[in-house]
Structure 1
Amino acid sequence: GAAQAFEGPARQALVTNVVPADELANAYTLNTLLRQGALIVGPGIGGLLIGGVGLGWTYIANGLSFLVLTAAVLAMRPVPQTPSESRTTWDLVMGGLRYAVAQPLVLWPLIIDFSTRALGSSRALLPIFAKDIFLVGPEGLGWLNAAVSAGAVIGGVVLGARGGIKRPVPVLLIAYCCEALGLVFVGLSHNFWIALAALFGMGIANVMAEVPRITMVLLATPDDLRGRVSALSWMFTAGGPQLGQVDAGILASALGAPGAAIAGGSAAFLAVLLFSAPLFKRRHVSYADAA
């Protein structure tokens, strides 16, 4: 977790230096396809390796794969440094925060993402649904988790086929609403296949929200602030889901898993409506306008 806090913002800030602005959304669509595809294929490969060579060698192979990717990054040409005046760490941090607060296309997508993930997380509830509601056991749980990733892959393919989004703000807001309502449908459903379809739809909505959000935040941020704003973005987008799992567990203990899903999804939907006004005013903004 601590390593990702350094790696994630640096990777996001680096992408804008190697990918043209008009191709940034497509680049993040491809990134989402690869990441979600790995979530589908990875467990199967891991299972084969554990069965063939054991858990220890599987961890070693996984670690070596990171070394290969690290070598590929080190082989890239260094990004040119822009000269800047000497400032304290506190001033640097506050500079990024002040910019994010003053820029609606940065601030409000992050607030909406954090609030919806903190209120409407499904991951912690799926084991309860698989075991106690649908009675499908570990295999069914695997299908429930895979449905979200499969939906994200399809969503990425759709975004890639469209060749870009002309008006990212409406797409982002609708996607967050659909994802929240999808969780409500999971809670209302007592049928495994209906819940599977709802989770698949949530995966599509997730990528439809993620790609415009990341692209807008990066394009709306100047080069000298991009690393700091990316770090702030990482705090929001990584912290929300973790808090959401805690919330989901507390709600599930009080209301049961279906009640927790309905309450969490409804709260996430209301959060989108509550925080969408500043973005709705900018619904005609394109990626070019954000840059």
Structure 2
Amino acid sequence: MDKPLHPFRIANFRAYWLSRLSGTIAQTALAIVIGWQVYGLARQTMDVRDAAFLLGMIGAAQFVPLFLLTPITGLVADSVDRRWIVRATTALIMLVSAGLGFLTWAEALTLPALFCAAVLIGIARAFTGPAYSALAPNLVPRESLPTAIAISSIAWQVGSIAGPSVGGLLYAIHPDVAYATVTGLFVVALLTMLTIGPVPQPPAQKDRRPLVRILEGFSYVRRNRLVLAAITLDLFVVLLAGATALLPIYARDILHVGAQGLGLLAAGMGIGAATTAIWFSFRPMKSNVGVKMLIAVIVFAVAILTFGISTSFPLSVAALIVAGGADMVSVYVRQSLIQLHTPDEMRGRVSAVSQLTISASNELGEAESGLLASLLGPVGAVVAGGCAAIVVTLAWARLFPELKRARTFDPPDMLQVEPQHGEAKP
């Protein structure tokens, strides 16, 4: 049997991968810069706890439009050319970044402007995520699909974890440098996406009512217990144990390392994720994928707990490196299971459901972190979240035995996974 064609040998996939990597780095770098500026402006008139609450509300400002639009965005990704969805939303965030850069340069930046920018970013992300995720399988032959999904996941995860370090370090050099670089990365993402030629996509099912098609995505996730377990585990663990939103507080008021230290703290997770991604590129995970995901999630929670109680800058960075590596393992497994267990005609809608949970765990998690920090203090919030995440992981291992029995990513090799023949075809 011939060896499957490597996705990077396909020009369309190379352009897609570069677009997703550069766009994700830019997007997450922009988020850390916005967070730092919100916290800095808030601390001019507020104490730490009140500023922490306002910092968390930036996450809520991004989550609300994404939550409201998710049922629609999955349907759009299954009905409209996915390339143009990504192009339009990338252009929107690029303009938002350029606008914030101008306001920063003109010393006219305000909290309302930052919150308006967060809402626009949330709207763009609501459409971009499902389109990006569903587009990758359309660019490669089926035999190359597992590798393409893994590589696509790596681009997103490495970009999402490394991006904050880029934003923090560049902002420490100068705010203008940070915004110019972020905007330039969005330009790269847009231009590379424009080079992708026509690709096959399932035809829009115009004979089906939109509401029925929207609900099919949620129904598929609910009925496929393995996909449901993978999605919801990530939702609750990162919702509870995510500490990214509080990094500006740790950098400024706990570890006292400033914007440059903020970049290094954020770089910790990027280093861990990138190292793990490189390892998987040479040694793909092939066995006991469910158990390894559960172990990785426990390691992530323990690492975040360690970061929360640390008063040593080197130890804090080391804990975040471990957290980033463990998170990469979890995302690698989750994304591969979701994509390989979902038929192409439903991939946009299922990806939208997955993105909703990811955003709930990230952006809504930021709001939760800010609220807890305003009540318990930042250290108390991180420690409580880390402990709760460990409890949730142990509970999920018991509630969803499908995770422990998942041996490989290939559906025929799975044990005790409910057949989805009725769900696979609308």
TM-score, normalising length from structure 1?
0.88
- What is the deviation of 1:192? 1.4
Question: Aligned partners of 1:270 and 1:59: how far apart in 2?
Answer: 38
User: Secondary structure of the residue that 1:166 maps to in structure 2?
Assistant: coil
Evaluate the alpha carbon distance shift between residue 144 and residue 248 of structure 1 in structure 2; reply closer, same or farther with a 3 A threshold.
Answer: same
Residue 4 (str. 1) matches residue 106 (str. 2): no
Question: Aligned partners of 1:238 and 1:256: how far apart in 2?
Answer: 24
Question: Aligned partners of 1:287 and 1:88: how far apart in 2?
Answer: 33
Contact 1:25 1:211 (C-alpha < 8 Å) held by counterparts: no
1:232-258 C-alpha deviation (Å, 9 max, x unpaired) = 111111221111111111221222221
What is residue 243 of structure 2 aligned with on the other side? 122
- What is the deviation of 1:65? 2.5
Question: Aligned partners of 1:115 and 1:219: how far apart in 2?
Answer: 23
- What is the deviation of 1:279? 3.8
1:1-291 mapped onto 2 (5 Å cutoff)? 1-19=122-140, 20-28=144-152, 30-31=154-155, 32-33=157-158, 36-37=161-162, 39-41=164-166, 61-73=184-196, 75=197, 77-82=198-203, 84=205, 86-285=207-406, 286-289=408-411
Matched to 2:299, the amino acid is C
Matched to 1:202, the amino acid is A
Question: Aligned partners of 1:270 and 1:182: how far apart in 2?
Answer: 15
User: Secondary structure of the residue that 1:124 maps to in structure 2?
Assistant: helix
Give structure 1 stretches of 5+ with no counterpart. Answer: none
Contact 1:152 1:204 (C-alpha < 8 Å) held by counterparts: yes
Matched to 1:145, the amino acid is A
User: Secondary structure of the residue that 1:78 maps to in structure 2?
Assistant: coil
- What is the deviation of 1:21? 3.1
- What is the deviation of 1:132? 2.0
Evaluate the alpha carbon distance shift between residue 59 and residue 277 of structure 1 in structure 2; reply closer, same or farther with a 3 A threshold.
Answer: closer
Matched to 2:294, the amino acid is L
- What is the deviation of 1:78? 2.0
- What is the deviation of 1:152? 0.8
Identity %, equivalent residues: 28
Give structure 2 stretches of 5+ with no counterpart. Answer: 1-121, 414-426
Contact 1:33 1:153 (C-alpha < 8 Å) held by counterparts: yes
Evaluate the alpha carbon distance shift between residue 49 and residue 124 of structure 1 in structure 2; reply closer, same or farther with a 3 A threshold.
Answer: closer
Question: Aligned partners of 2:258 and 2:166: how far apart in 1?
Answer: 20
- What is the deviation of 1:207? 0.6
Contact 1:170 1:280 (C-alpha < 8 Å) held by counterparts: no
Matched to 1:289, the amino acid is P
TM-score, normalising length from structure 2?
0.61
Contact 2:165 2:264 (C-alpha < 8 Å) held by counterparts: no
Evaluate the alpha carbon distance shift between residue 24 and residue 66 of structure 1 in structure 2; reply closer, same or farther with a 3 A threshold.
Answer: closer
Contact 1:180 1:266 (C-alpha < 8 Å) held by counterparts: yes
Question: Aligned partners of 2:381 and 2:260: how far apart in 1?
Answer: 23
Evaluate the alpha carbon distance shift between residue 58 and residue 159 of structure 1 in structure 2; reply closer, same or farther with a 3 A threshold.
Answer: closer
Question: Aligned partners of 1:255 and 1:11: how far apart in 2?
Answer: 38
Contact 2:339 2:347 (C-alpha < 8 Å) held by counterparts: yes
Contact 1:183 1:202 (C-alpha < 8 Å) held by counterparts: yes
Evaluate the alpha carbon distance shift between residue 41 and residue 242 of structure 1 in structure 2; reply closer, same or farther with a 3 A threshold.
Answer: closer
Evaluate the alpha carbon distance shift between residue 139 and residue 264 of structure 1 in structure 2; reply closer, same or farther with a 3 A threshold.
Answer: same
Contact 2:164 2:263 (C-alpha < 8 Å) held by counterparts: no
- What is the deviation of 1:195? 1.1
How many aligned positions are there?
Answer: 287
Which protein, 1 or 2, shows the higher relative CO under an 8 Å CA cutoff with sep ≥ 6? 1
Evaluate the alpha carbon distance shift between residue 222 and residue 290 of structure 1 in structure 2; reply closer, same or farther with a 3 A threshold.
Answer: farther
